[in-house]
Amino acid sequence: MKNRLEKPIYVTRPSMPDYEEYMEQIKPLWDSHALTNMAEYHGRLERELGRYLQTEKLSLMTNGHMALEMALQSLGLSGEVITTPFTFISTTHAIVRNNLTPVFCDIDGRDFTMDAAKLEALISKRTCAIVPVHVYGRICNVEKIEEIAKRHGLKVIYDAAHAFGVTYKGKPAVSYGDMSTLSFHATKVFHTVEGGAVVYRDDETGSELYSLKNFGIRSEECTDGVGANAKMDELRAAMGLCNLRNVEADIARRKILFETYLERLEGTAGLTLPFVQKDVKSNYAYFPVLFDEEVLGIGRDDVYEELKKRNIYARKYFYPLASDAECYRNVYSSSATPVAKRVAESVLTLPMYADLERQEVVLICENIREIIGQGGKK
């Protein structure tokens, strides 16, 4: 174990602005005492994110999960929602918590997003919407999904938690579908510590989202719906304003790390490496690798454990599938989505964050090569 690192490298680490920059940003709050209830920084961040994402219709939320919950609730849906099991459990929970029934569609084995070729067969009389998930900075087959949704009169709400800053044919990924939801969790490419947003299409939806995230309140004396408290506070909005200034530089650094991983791991039998889709400008959010146990003589779980012994903390992301979670596995069978099951059981996302050093990536790759080399000799 000659390559064991002295200091641990975790799968991700939040990007942080300069301390002085953030202190300067929040200093006026000590004078105004305006800390929440959609005050100045909340409005500023909505506008600046709107410019960055090329939309005037964006509603900030307290986190990405509430963004998806509020988006679904605003549409007044009932029935079944077709989605993917290859996602963070939040996606499925948001559907269920809106009294909707998830129907799981398998994924494409190359980009790990919803397999649009398998989508139409799952549509029934009870289907009301589709919730596809952009994965690892790669986006769904938005054109095929749109064509199917229009033909069947279905709403499309994209879980775009991994797609901040991603564009397809020059258009932001969040511009597709009826809505897109974003997560600004600390581990994301852009973050507000905790936070999220809904990108929507019309003023009526915007008004509904405003009400839903503010207890159902329409005005000072009118509460005409049952809402939640999903407002973003000023301290987190201030963090977002700082991080937004640096996000393009962070993505550029991620690109270098992504290319270093490729350079050091390409040509290794038994590894399936990520790629950037045609016509897509990626944000290089993650570096997922599939480990083929039959070829390598060592499984993904063994690689994961060996890396931990060397102070390298990768992540089985996404594992288990949402359909295999304890709260769902008595209702669903992951055997119905065999590609998603295979990917979930063989994928590791390797450390990826803007402050990661290129030489650290080199060391991670050397350790992986050493581990799988030893595994193949067993």
Specify burial of residue 226 (Cβ count, 10 A radius: 0-12, 13-18, 19+). Answer: exposed
CA pair distance 26, 38, nearest whole angstrom: 15
Q: Per-residue confidence at 378, pLDDT binned at 50, 70, 90?
A: very low
The sign of the dihedral angle between the CA atoms of 309, 313, 314, 319 is positive
Contacts of 113 (CB under 8 A, 6+ apart): 84, 107, 132, 133, 134, 135, 138, 139, 140, 141
CATH class of this structure's domain 246-375: alpha beta
Phi, psi (5° rounding) for residue 348?
-130, 135
Q: Report pLDDT for 1.
A: 54
Q: What is the pLDDT of residues 126-138, one digit of tens each?
A: 999 999 999 999 9
Residue 201, helix vs strand vs coil: coil
Q: Where are the domains of the chain?
A: 19-241, 246-375
Torsion angle of alpha carbons 16, 22, 26, 30, nearest 10°? 110
Q: Mean pLDDT throughout 260-282?
A: 97
Q: Per-residue confidence at 2, pLDDT binned at 50, 70, 90?
A: low
Q: What is the pLDDT of residues 178-223, one digit of tens each?
A: 999 999 999 999 999 999 999 999 999 999 999 999 999 988 899 9
Give the residue ranges of DSSP H helices in 128-223.
142-152, 203-212
Q: Report pLDDT for 20.
A: 98
Contacts of 359 (CB under 8 A, 6+ apart): none
Q: Per-residue confidence at 375, pLDDT binned at 50, 70, 90?
A: low
What is the crossing angle of helices 358-375 and 234-265, to 10°? 50
CA pair distance 334, 115, nearest whole angstrom: 15
Q: What is the pLDDT of residues 287-330, one digit of tens each?
A: 999 999 999 999 999 999 999 999 999 999 999 999 999 999 99
In this structure, CATH architecture of domain 19-241? 3-Layer(aba) Sandwich (3.40)
Cis geometry, peptide bond prior to residue 320 (ω within 30 degrees of 0): yes
Q: Per-residue confidence at 6, pLDDT binned at 50, 70, 90?
A: confident
Cis geometry, peptide bond prior to residue 318 (ω within 30 degrees of 0): yes
Position with higher pLDDT, 374 vs 311? 311
Compute the mean pLDDT over every residue in the chain, rounded to the nearest whole number: 96
What is the crossing angle of helices 89-96 and 64-74, to 10°? 30
CA pair distance 114, 339, nearest whole angstrom: 10
Q: Report pLDDT for 265.
A: 98
